[in-house]
Structure 1
């Protein structure tokens, strides 16, 4: 973690903020060594009250905080808009400093504010990179939406395989591979149980299901084989229509909706990212597609703010730890203790 040498002088008013949801705890350390603990509301009025107290001494102000979910984003943006220098401290640094100073792992808001002041006084912090200020918030929101929709799609797919297909049509699982799941989900809406297939003659079933399956090689043979499998299926003989079948169709439609939304986001991902040069460089790396490039830019922001590749490795938590004990040269490997 980089040292902020200009803050080590006694010219700055330092504010360490323990972030919470509704109320924040802060410790103010003035240049003359006096300090004060302040609890303020997570509102503009609360932010203004904190600054009014800190500005009693005519000195430049710097704040630092431990990032907590997304609750720090609002106060950091507002403070930046007021011309305040904003920094962040590592959660691991806070945990280790807490153990060293207080010999305990207990978390108390006022103690955490003091810990942040201690880390600021040592210069152990990084400048806070605000995605809204640096115009990377759209990347973050797109990446987050893609992640949430992918999770919902996966959960729904596992629910279909492990519950509905297992109960009503176990033999269909052999065809429900992830790359072909959408095709068979459309088939499940039309024919949710084996009985709905076999209640028609084979030729009529093939004709009705022909367009539902979509493009497929040897479609005639496949549909005839599927009909024969349905005829000897051990699936539960649920009547159609019924509430159980309606719930199956509901889950299938949820899966198809999330799959459609994910595909649309993949198309959208290339639109805002086509211009940045960093995106084009990332896409030139084998195995890096539009979504992976989107995630990298969403998490990293402007890649050019890192002056050396080791700084970026450190930012990602991949910096190497050296061991030289009893040796002429140090050997480097990934640290298993985390990064401060």
Structure 2
């Protein structure tokens, strides 16, 4: 497998040589979930294979590469370039397979595909599955992008950062639901303490979000119920204020479902 720098150098050379070349076999691939469509031709407009349908599995990938190699030898092409339009994550297994095989891979943007779809002339068929030909046409014009495939450690870091970002977004959504649904309905007085003592407030909601339940407790009982570690004087004051607010809360009566929802959301 080529290094990232070697792939980048090959891509730059491709951009300078591809227009009008009859030495390059271009493979445009329309990506889908279960099966992909491939079109094969040259940069000077010669169609070598109008359509190849192959499954999204090892047998399908082997079918693609064997057919491409046969056409390359038959038509005496010196270079082969594969092109895809990134679609969700469906393109990544095929892309990794091609790169590990030492094959050249580029990508085209979705916006370029959309604009070029209306400009395709009669060299290549216009039908419902013409997107593969569209991808190949863009590569023939040099309108393609380098396919980024960094080392595994970098890919892992990107995935973890993406996971963290997604979890953070979900966390903010849950907090908004707690404030706008639970507290606004059952314990509106407590909303003001969410930002000032967030950890303690979430602990209160997770253990006893019903103000009636809190009001029936002695303060020491309430404190021991929601506190799992030593707190500062300021935090104790906040907890005491929450306990006091529960005695005169204007919130609706909270049933078993509300208490259970609070526990689940906090977890």
Which secondary structure does the structure 2 equivalent of 1:14 belong to?
Answer: strand
**RMSD of aligned alpha carbons:** 2.7
Which secondary structure does the structure 2 equivalent of 1:136 belong to?
Answer: helix
1:66 aligns with 2:77: no
CA distance in 2 between partners of 1:124 and 1:94 (Å)? 10
| 1:12-27 superposed matches below 5 A | 12-27=24-39
Post-superposition shift, 1:134?
5.7
| 1:248-287 superposed matches below 5 A | 248-253=262-267
Residue 100 of structure 1: aligned partner: 119
| 1:1-340 superposed matches below 5 A | 4-8=15-19, 9-30=21-42, 33-36=46-49, 37-56=51-70, 57-58=72-73, 59=77, 60-101=79-120, 110-131=129-150, 133=151, 135-177=153-195, 180-202=197-219, 204-205=220-221, 208=224, 211-212=227-228, 215-238=231-254, 242-253=256-267
CA distance in 2 between partners of 1:68 and 1:74 (Å)? 12
**Contact 2:42–2:140 (8 Å) recurs in 1:** no
Structure 1: stretches of 5+ with no match in the other structure: 254-340
Which secondary structure does the structure 1 equivalent of 2:241 belong to?
Answer: helix
Post-superposition shift, 1:30?
4.7
CA distance in 2 between partners of 1:187 and 1:215 (Å)? 14
| Cα shift readout 1:91-145 (whole Å, capped 9, x = no counterpart) | 111111113337xxxx9663111111111111111221114x4642111210121
Could you tell me the TM-score, scaled by structure 2's length?
A: 0.81
Which secondary structure does the structure 2 equivalent of 1:159 belong to?
Answer: helix
* Count of aligned pairs: 244
**Contact 2:188–2:250 (8 Å) recurs in 1:** yes
Q: Which has the higher contact order (CA 8 A, sep 6+)?
A: 2
CA spacing shift, 1:5–1:209, aligned 2, 3 Å: same
- Higher Cα radius of gyration: 2
Which secondary structure does the structure 1 equivalent of 2:102 belong to?
Answer: coil
CA distance in 1 between partners of 2:246 and 2:258 (Å)? 19
**Contact 1:94–1:115 (8 Å) recurs in 2:** yes
Post-superposition shift, 1:48?
1.3
Structure 2: stretches of 5+ with no match in the other structure: 1-10
